Amino acid sequence: MHFKFNLRFNRRIKERQVKQISVILLVVTFAATGCKKEISKNIDQDKIFTQYELFYDQTENVTYATATFKFSSNYGTKLMLSDPSTITLDGTEMDWDNENGYYQNQFDGFKSTATFHWVDLDGNSFTNTIDIRDIALPTTIANLHFADSVTYFMWNGSALDSSENVTLTIDGVGETDRRDFRLDTVGATTFTLDSVQLSQIDSGMVQLFLNLRYSPALTEQTSRGGSITGRYQTVTAETLLTD
């Protein structure tokens, strides 16, 4: 009996070790796949999907211009351009970020507009210009009440236009408190937050900020398309969430 017990015990230990090794291998495989990159000379140039973003962070007072190239779609492998293919921003060559797999230039302060110019390996050129449309939190932010049936939150700035959407982010003290409220109705100026949504956030002081995205259609693109976005993120403010 003692011998059989040891066999069963050892078998369980081995099974547990195999499961642990399998989990580790799965995590490693996922990580390797997630950061996988390719060079564009191995790709049919017309199958390159392009993403451009001009993003202003008001808290940092920095503007980030980012160009990302992927194979076939938004979910494709990220690509590094092969020489002599180039990507420039307002005539200046963009810097390659190997860790993140995209091209990015930074600017102090608010850069309201920029032009991305990409030349592929076949000599085709694609020029796309984007601007950032600003938005602001209200000068005075009233307390939020989750006991109310609805709470209205109006921003400072223009009503939403076509190709625009705005997100209000509210984050409390709890680890899972963060909530994003998105609005894309043309002409809208106000969020309507219901009590159920607000009750999912712990009461107390909460932080909030706005993101306004302007995403028109690309002017010039490959057959696989892409996207271009101008994004403005406000400073973070605090208010009280209570019943």
Domain extent listing, the chain: 1-34, 37-131, 144-221+234-242
pLDDT digits (tens, 9 = 90+) for 199-216: 899 999 999 999 999 999
144-221+234-242 CATH choice from 2.60.40, 2.60.120, 3.40.1400, 2.160.20:
2.60.40
The confidence score (pLDDT) of residue 241 equals 93
**Is 60 exceeded by the pLDDT of residue 16?**
no
pLDDT digits (tens, 9 = 90+) for 40-55: 899 999 999 999 999 9
37-131 CATH choice from 2.60.40, 3.90.870, 3.40.50, 1.10.150:
2.60.40
Give the mean model confidence (pLDDT) for residues 105-118: 98
Domains 37-131 and 144-221+234-242 share a fold: yes
pLDDT digits (tens, 9 = 90+) for 125-162: 999 999 999 999 999 999 998 888 888 999 999 999 99
Give the mean model confidence (pLDDT) for residues 82-90: 97
Compute the distance between CA of residue 181 and CA of residue 229 in angstroms, rounded to an integer. 19
The confidence score (pLDDT) of residue 31 equals 42
The confidence score (pLDDT) of residue 8 equals 44
Higher pLDDT, 235 or 17: 235
